[in-house]
Amino acid sequence: MGFEGIGASVRRKEDVRFLSGKGNYTDDINRPGQLYAVIKRSDRPHATINNIDVAAASSAPGVVRVFVGADMAAESIGGLPCGWQIHSKDGSPMAEPPHPVLAVGKVRHVGDPVAVVIAESKQAAKNAAELIDVDYTDLPAVANLTDAVAGGAVEVHDGVAGNLCYDWVIGDKAVVDGVFANAAHVVKLDLVNNRLIPNAMEPRVALGDFDTSSGDFTLYTTSQNPHVIRLLMGAFVLHIPENKLRVVAPDVGGGFGSKIYHYAEEAIVTWAAGKVRRPVKWTADRSESFMSDAHGRDHVSTAEMALDAEGHFLGLRITTLANMGAYLSTFAPAVPTYLYATLLAGVYKTPVIYCNVKAVFTNTVPVDAYRGAGRPEATFLLERLVDVIAHDTGIDRVELRRKNFIPADAFPYQTPVALQYDSGDYQTTLRVALANADWNGFEARRTAAKDRGKLRGIGISTYLEACGIAPSAVVGSLGARAGLYEVAEIRVHPTGSVTVFTGTHSHGQGHETTLAQLVVSQLGVPFDQVEVVHGDTAKIPFGMGTYGSRSLAVGGSAMVKAMDKVIAKGKKIAAHLMEAAVEDIEFKDNVFSVAGTDKSKTLTDISLAAYVPHNYPIEELEPGLDETAFYDPKNFTFPGGCHIAEIEIDPDTGVVEMVNFTAVDDVGRVVNPMIVEGQVQGGVAQGIGQALLESAIYDPSGQLLSGSFMDYTMPRANDIPNMSVATENTMCTHNPLGSKGCGEVGAIGSPPAVINAVVDALKDYGVRHLDMPATGAKLWSIIQAATPRMAAE
Amino acid sequence: MYDFTYQKPGSLADAVKVLSGDPEAKALAGGQTFIPVLKQRLNKPTTVVDLSKLGLSGITVSGDKITIGAMTRHADIAANADIKAKIPGLAHQASLIGDEAVRHRGTMGGSLANNDPAACYPSALLALGGTIKTDRRSIAADDFFQGMFTTALEQGEIITAIELPIPEKSAYEKFRNPASRYAIVGVFVAKFPSGVRLAITGAGQGGVFRHTEIENALSANFAPDAINGIVTPPDDLNSDIHASAEYRAHLVGVVSKRAVAKAT
Ligand SMILES: Cc1cc2nc3c(=O)[nH]c(=O)nc-3n(C[C@H](O)[C@H](O)[C@H](O)COP(=O)(O)OP(=O)(O)OC[C@H]3O[C@@H](n4cnc5c(N)ncnc54)[C@H](O)[C@@H]3O)c2cc1C
C-alpha cells in the first residue's frame, strides 16, 4: 500500500460496490407494506382542467387511493418553493407564480402531474391511472423563447404579462453605450444555447415512509442535497417540522444538477404515505424522466464587443432571453443571472460590461442548473464571440486571446461584473494546451485531411468559471434564500479510526475516496480506516449538498477546519499525557510529539485517552474526540484553462468526427489526479454531446419531439475521442486546501472549442457562426448552400 | 405491460394453432422490438407465444444458397464463417444492429416480420432476392414487404426460415440515425451474374425499396462512379427531426457509392 494522501491516484473505493451490482440506490430500498405511486401526467402543453373523474380508477383492483390537486389544496399543502429571488431592473421582484404539486385549474406543460394513484403494485397503479378521465379544454401554447415574448403571445400564467419572470440587468448601460459609440470596431453575434435533457443514468425515485408509532416521516430520494429537500419540503410544502422528517439520499446514479431540486414526486409520496399510513414508492420511467426532470440551458442571445484599432476589448454588451419553462424550479432564476452574467468577463480584461437578461415562461418542462449552470452559456457566448472577432478583424484567434488576457500578476482581479478572481495563469494554460495539441502542426494535418477528402478544423476555448459556491452573505444579497456554507464532522473513534460526516453528497464523484484522502494527509490515519458518511439527515449535520463543483473547495475546507480542531484538542490531551506544555506539542503523520524530545503518542493513544478518560485533564477538557466545523467560503473559486478540439467533417454527409481533444485546466490543488482526469473526461463528453449531438426539441405547439433515446442523441463512447487531459494549477488563495473544483470544467470549456473547430473547418464555405448541435444534417445543409456560391466564385 | 398469458409451444403446429385461433395472440422471438412495445403499453396481446422451442435457429449452406432459421440471432449471423465468406454484406449488416445485448437476443425472423422502415435486414432480403419460408408457403422478397410495418404474412403465419441466394459480391453500408442508431439510410448491394440488386432502407416512407435506376447503372458498370449523376427525388422519402427528405435523398447516392466501393 503506497501513499494514499493528497495527490495520490487512489482507486475509488466506492467503485467496488457500484461495479459489482451492490450499490444501494433508492429503488433498491423497499419498506414493509410498501405501496406504489403512478402519476397521471398531462399530455397537453397547455389546457384548462374542467374536471378530473377518478371514480373508475379509485375502484380499480389493488388501488388504495387516488389524489388530485384539490385534495392537497384542501389541506393547505404549499406549492413547490423557489430558492432564489431575482429583482428586475426597476426594483420589482420577479414574477413567482404558484407551482402546485399536483396541477390545479390548468396544466402548463406536457408531463405536468395531474393525479396520483396509490396501489398495491406498480402494475395496478398503472392500470388505474389509465382510467382517470381528465376533461381538458386546450389552450394555445408557447414553446420557444421568441414566440413567448412576441406581442400577443398566450400567457403561461394569468397576469404574468409578456411571460416575463424578470427583466434583470448588470452593468451600466449608458457607460457601455458610450464606449460602443467611440469604438474602432464593433462585432456582433446572435447565438442560441441549445436546450438539453440531463438523463442521469439512474432515473429519479422517491419513497415516502410514515412511522405510525412515532409519527415520523422518512423520504428516501435521489437527491444531491438531502438537507435542502428536508428544509424546502418540510417547511414550505408539507409543514412537517424538521425533527419529524428525515431525508435519505443513498447511492445516487448521477445528477448533473437535475437532482438538486425539490420535485413534486417527493412531496407526493411523503404526503401520501401519511395519508394512507403506509410507505409509498414512485420510480420514474425513462420517458417520464424526459418530461419531468428539469432541463438545462435554452438561451437566445445577442452579443456585441467594442474594440480598439488593435483589437483590445473595450466593452461587452449582451441581451439574453432565458427559458424558465412553465414553473420556476428551485434555483432556476439564479442560473441566467448570477451564474451567467457575472462570468461574462471570462479570462479577459474587458473593462465594461452590460448584460440584460429576460427570463421567460413557456409551456415546457422547467429549466434549471445543469452541469455548469450558466457558466457554459457564458463561455459559449464569449468564446464564440472572440472567434468571430478574429474572423471579422483578421486578427489571429490565439493572438487576440493573449492580447486581452488578464495577466498572471493582476490577481486579485476585480471584474466589472461583480466577481473578484483570486488566482489564475491563462497564458500558461494556453501555452501548454497549444503544445499538447500540437497547434503548430495543425495546418499539415489539415492538408493531409484534405487529401483524404475531409475538412479538418481546430478550435480553441480559453475559459473561466466560478464554483465552490458560495459566500452566504454574498449570495444572500443576490437573492439566495439559503446559505451556501458546508459542514463536516470528524469523529475519531476510540481506537483511532475515523468516520467523516459530510454535508456534501456523492452521486458519482468519488467523495468516499477523495475525502478520505484528506484525512490520510491531515491526520495520518490509514485510508482503509476512514469512512465517509453522507446523504442522510439523521446522520450528518445540516449541509448544503453537492453542485457547482463545491464539495472539495467548500466541503473539504470544512473537513480541514474540523480536523484542525481535532488536532488542537489532541495536542491538549497529549500535553497532559506527556506532561509537557501544549505549545511544545507537534503533530505530524498521526503522531503527537514533544518538541526537542523523543516523547510521542500516536493519535490512537490520544483517542483512547479521550474516550477512556482515566488519566485526562477532565477539569479543562471534555472527553471524546469528535469535532464539527462549518465553513463559509470567503469567495467563489475560479477554475479555468484552455480546451482545444480538433475535428473532421465528411463533406458528403456533413458528419463531424472528433479526432483530438486537449484539455489543460487549472483546478487548484488536486487531491486525486485520476478522479480529476475522470471528471474532466466526463464533463468534456457532455460538452461534446451539447456541441454535436444533443437537443431537446419541442414542436411549436409544445409537444416534446425528442422525448426518448430514439430521438434524443446521448453521446456514446465512440462519439468521444481519446483525450489529452492535464492540469496547470494555481492555488486558490482563500481556502485551506487551495482547491478550486473540477466537476464542471469539462462541460463548460469544451462546447465552444468544438464549435470553433467546426467553424474553422468550414472557413472556405463562408461560415462565420453556427448554433449547436452541429449535426450532420445541419452541416450538410450549410455546405450545400455554400457550394454553388463557391463554384461561381 | 398489460397482463397476458404466456405459452412456449414445442412444435410449429401448436404455435400456429394458438396464433391462428386468436387474433389478439402474438409471437415472441427475441423480444427486442416487441418487449419495449409491451412495456410502453402500446400493444395488449391476450397470449404471447414464445417461438424459442420450435427449433427454428441455425444456418445451412447448400449449393448456391444459404438458409437461415427465423430464430437465428443477429450475433450468430455476424459471426458465422459461411456467411462471412459467402455474403459478407449480411454478416457486416448483422454486426451493426443495435448493441451487443440486442444482437444476442434479436432474430432475423423477428426483424423481417416487424418490417420497421429503419431496420437493416429488409434491405438484405430484398437486395439478395431471398425467399421467406413460413409454416405454410414461400414468399419472394419482392412480394413480402408491403409498406412500413406491413408484410405479406397472414394472421398467425410464422416465418420459419430465410433463404438467400449467394451473390458474387455484397455489401451493406449504413448511415445511422445519431440517436437510435437505426438506419437513416441503409444500402444493401448484391451483384449477381444476372445483374445488380440494390435495396434502400430507412429512407422511404413506404419502407424498404429497390432503386432500379442505380441497379441499372451498376449492372452496366459495377463501380461507385457509375452512380454519379443519378438524382433520387425526395418526394417519397421520410423527413423527421434528424434528417430532411432532401438530406436522405442525397445520402441515398453517397451511401450507395460507399456500399459499392466496399462490395466483396
Ligand atoms: C436498442 C436497440 C437497437 C436496435 N437497433 C437496430 C438496428 O440498428 N437495426 C435493426 O434492424 N434493428 C435494430 N433493433 C431491432 C432488433 O433488430 C430486433 O431484434 C428486431 O427488430 C426484432 O427482432 P426480435 O427477434 O427481437 O423480434 P420480437 O421483438 O420478438 O418480435 C417483433 C415482431 O415480429 C413478430 N415475429 C417475431 N418472430 C416472428 C416469426 N418468426 N414469424 C412471424 N412473426 C414473428 C412478433 O410477433 C413481433 O410482432 C434494435 C433494437 C433495440 C432494442
Cell numbers found for residue B35: 418487449
For ligand 1, the distance from its centroid to the CA atom of residue B183, given in whole angstroms, is 14
Query: Which pLDDT value is given to residue A537?
Result: 98
CB neighbours of residue A673 within 10 Å: 15
User: In the predicted model, what is the mean pLDDT of residues A438-459?
Assistant: 98
Band (A787; pLDDT cuts 50, 70, 90): confident
Cβ-proximal residues to A610 (8 Å cutoff; 6+ apart), any chain:
A492, A494, A569, A570, A573, A616, A623, A624, A625
Band (A428; pLDDT cuts 50, 70, 90): very high
- CB of B160 within 8 A of CB of B134? yes
| C-alpha separations of B252 from A446, A652, A778, B149 in Å | 28, 11, 17, 21
CB contact under 8 A, A711 and B180: yes
The verdict on B42 touching A (C-beta cutoff 8 Å) is no
Relative to beta strand B183-192, strand B169-176 is antiparallel
CB contact under 8 A, A706 and B241: yes
Residue B156 CB–ligand 1 contact under 6 Å: no
For ligand 1, the distance from its centroid to the CA atom of residue B29, given in whole angstroms, is 7
Query: Which pLDDT value is given to residue A398?
Result: 98
Q: Tell me which of A122, A194, A652 to substitute to probe the interface with B (most B C-beta atoms closer than 10 Å).
A: A652
Which ligand 1 atom is at minimum distance from the Cα of B176?
8
Judging contacts by C-beta atoms under 8 Å, the chain B residues touching residue A709 are 179-180
What are the φ and ψ backbone dihedral angles of A400, each rounded to 5 degrees? Answer: -60, -40
CB neighbours of residue A6 within 10 Å: 19
Query: Which pLDDT value is given to residue A78?
Result: 87
The verdict on A714 touching B (C-beta cutoff 8 Å) is yes
Query: Which pLDDT value is given to residue A86?
Result: 97
Per-residue HEC secondary structure of A585-625 comes to: EEEECCEEEECCCCCEEEHHHHHHHHHCCCCCCCCCCCCCC
Domains of chain A: 31-139+201-254+259-292 (3.90.1170.50), 299-469+635-792 (3.30.365.10), 485-631 (3.30.365.10)
- CB of A515 within 8 A of CB of A533? no
3-state secondary structure of A301: strand
User: In the predicted model, what is the mean pLDDT of residues A597-619?
Assistant: 97
Residue B134 CB–ligand 1 contact under 6 Å: no
User: Structure pTM?
Assistant: 0.97
Per-residue HEC secondary structure of A9-28 comes to: CCCCCHHHHHHCCCCCEHHH
Q: How many residues does chain B have?
A: 264
Give yes or no for residue A339 having a pLDDT over 70: yes
Band (A793; pLDDT cuts 50, 70, 90): low
Ligand 1: residue of B76, B96, B111 to mutate (most ligand atoms within 8 A of CB) is B111
Round the average pLDDT of chain B to a whole number and report it: 97
Domain with residues B169-263, CATH architecture: 2-Layer Sandwich (3.30)
Band (A1; pLDDT cuts 50, 70, 90): low
Give yes or no for residue B229 having a pLDDT over 90: yes
CA–CA gap between residue A592 and residue A600 (Å, rounded): 5
The verdict on A777 touching B (C-beta cutoff 8 Å) is yes
CB contact under 8 A, B251 and A709: no
What are the φ and ψ backbone dihedral angles of A210, each rounded to 5 degrees? Answer: -130, 125
Band (A792; pLDDT cuts 50, 70, 90): low
Closest CB to B247: pick one of A130, A713, A780: A780
Residues 58-117 in B contacting A (C-alpha not used; CB under 8 Å): none
Relative to beta strand A280-283, strand A35-41 is parallel
pLDDT digits (tens, 9 = 90+) for A487-536: 999 999 999 999 999 999 999 999 999 999 999 999 999 999 999 999 99
pLDDT digits (tens, 9 = 90+) for A280-329: 999 999 999 999 999 999 999 999 999 999 999 999 999 999 999 999 99
Task: Specify which residues A193 forms β-bridges with.
Answer: A299
**Helical spans, DSSP H, in A263-412:** 264-276, 286-292, 375-393, 397-404
What are the boundaries of each domain within chain B? 169-263
Which ligand 1 atom is at minimum distance from the Cα of B174?
8
Cell numbers found for residue A605: 493513544
Percent of chain A with pLDDT over 70: 99
Give yes or no for residue A198 having a pLDDT over 80: yes
Cell numbers found for residue B4: 397476458
pLDDT digits (tens, 9 = 90+) for A354-411: 999 999 999 999 999 999 999 999 999 999 999 999 999 999 999 999 999 999 999 9
Closest CB to A711: pick one of B179, B247, B250: B179
pLDDT digits (tens, 9 = 90+) for A141-157: 999 999 999 999 999 99
Band (B70; pLDDT cuts 50, 70, 90): very high
Query: Which pLDDT value is given to residue A768?
Result: 96
3-state secondary structure of B256: helix
For ligand 1, the distance from its centroid to the CA atom of residue B108, given in whole angstroms, is 7
pLDDT digits (tens, 9 = 90+) for A610-645: 999 999 999 999 999 999 999 999 999 999 999 999
- CB of B256 within 8 A of CB of B227? yes
Percent of chain A with pLDDT over 90: 97
Judging contacts by C-beta atoms under 8 Å, the chain A residues touching residue B2 are 127
Cβ-proximal residues to A443 (8 Å cutoff; 6+ apart), any chain:
none
Judging contacts by C-beta atoms under 8 Å, the chain A residues touching residue B250 are 780, 784
pLDDT digits (tens, 9 = 90+) for A701-748: 999 999 999 999 999 999 999 999 999 999 999 999 999 999 999 999
CB contact under 8 A, A713 and B2: no
CB contact under 8 A, A710 and B179: yes
| C-alpha separations of B170 from A243, B75, B91, B258 in Å | 72, 19, 10, 12
Query: Which pLDDT value is given to residue A2?
Result: 84
Query: Which pLDDT value is given to residue A72?
Result: 96
Residues 633-692 in A contacting B (C-alpha not used; CB under 8 Å): 652-653
Give yes or no for residue B109 having a pLDDT over 80: yes
Query: Which pLDDT value is given to residue A791?
Result: 64
- CB of A489 within 8 A of CB of A627? yes
User: In the predicted model, what is the mean pLDDT of residues B157-181?
Assistant: 98
pLDDT digits (tens, 9 = 90+) for A536-560: 999 999 999 999 999 999 999 999 9
- CB of B170 within 8 A of CB of B263? yes
